Amino acid sequence: MGTVFEKTRGLTDHVLHYCPGCTHGIIHRILAESLVELGLLDQTVGIVPVGCAVMAYDYFNCDTIEAPHGRAPAVATGVRRALPEATVFTYQGDGDLAAIGTAETVHAATRGENITVIFVNNAIYGMTGGQMAPTSLPSQVTQTTPYGRDPKVAGFPVRVCEMLSTLDGVAFAQRVAVNSPQRVMQAKKAIKKALTVQKERKGFSIVEILSTCPTNWGVTPLEALDWVEEKMVPYYPLGVYKDVSEKGVFSDAD
């Protein structure tokens, strides 16, 4: 009988530290599989964030740099400029990318930096124990919005793909989710597309992935999958927000 499934060599044998029901593990796997299937793993430098994925340097089987909080796109820019042939990705959560690292995100995007950003949006700060994230939903209860997020006090959530898709440097922006097997397949396809955009030097690419945090949402792993569908997807519609990968972002600048 042939092998039907095996662990990708894009991941190490480290035991993941993520909570039960957290979808970081799925996202790690589909990103690692994509790097292997596209033949990019051995030339890849991954930039990992501060947040729940802070120890991802132990999990991805490629060179990695642990960046200061929010600075991954700037670190990735430095790597990209030093190593024109490398594949460079950042792996960032919502606090890292859309709060403390907003400037680095926006400017790497508008420069058309040839990097791929994997943006894991679970609407909460997981690592520090469940505080409000820039993507926490209106009325969402967190440790720092104990009465629910009141936009009059705490402002509105940031829709990252919508915002970045207005920038000329962005070649590809898609929002996906990983709360069903079909969605996982779609997410992997989006990641492969983004990495291919980078490989062909078409510009900045980002895949936003709606993810779960059962621990800090206070729900079971199964309920968390429904929470994504019922609460997050309506506010963060799935889909392709920008795709100029055919021409690339610099075609008019030449």
Partner 1 sequence: MANKFLMKGNEALAEAAIRSGCHHFFGYPITPQTEISAYMAKRMPQIGGTFLQAESEIAAINMVLGAASAGVRAMTSSSSPGISLKSEGISYLAGSDVPAVIVNVMRGGPGLGGIQPSQADYWQATKAMGHGDFQVLVYAPSGVQEMAELVGLAFDTADKYRVPAMILADGLLGQMMEPVVFPEQKSDRLPEKTWATTGTKGKRAPNIINSLFLQPDELEQIVKDRFTRYQAIEENEVLAEEFLTDDADLLVVAYGAVARIARSAVRAARERGIKAGLIRPVTLWPFPKKLIAEKAKQAQNILVAEMSMGQMVDDVKLAVLGSSHVHFYGRTGGMVPSPNELLEQIQAIADNREV
Q: Which residues bind partner 1 (CB under 8 A)?
A: 12, 42-45, 47, 54-55, 57-58, 60-68, 71, 74-83, 86-87, 103-104, 106-107
User: How many Cβ atoms from other residues are within 10 Å of residue 231's Cβ?
Assistant: 16
How far apart are the C-alpha atoms of 72 and 90, rounded to whole Å?
6
DSSP β-bridge partners for residue 142: 145
Distance linking the first and last C-alpha atoms of the chain: 54
Residue 32, phi then psi, degrees to nearest 5: -65, -45
**Whole-number minimum distance, CB 13 to partner 1, in Å?**
12
* 57 versus 217: smaller Cβ distance to partner 1: 57
Output the smallest distance, CB 132 to partner 1, in A.
23
What is d(CA 167, CA 175) in angstroms, rounded to the nearest whole number?
16
64 versus 121: smaller Cβ distance to partner 1: 64
Q: How far is the CB of 64 from partner 1 (least distance, A)?
A: 5
Q: Which is nearer to partner 1, 62 or 160 (CB)?
A: 62
Q: Which of 74, 178 has the CB closer to partner 1?
A: 74
* Residue 83 Cβ vs partner 1, minimum distance, rounded to whole Å: 5
Amino acid in the structure at residue 238:
L
Report how far residue 225's alpha carbon sits from residue 146's, in angstroms, rounded to the nearest whole number: 23
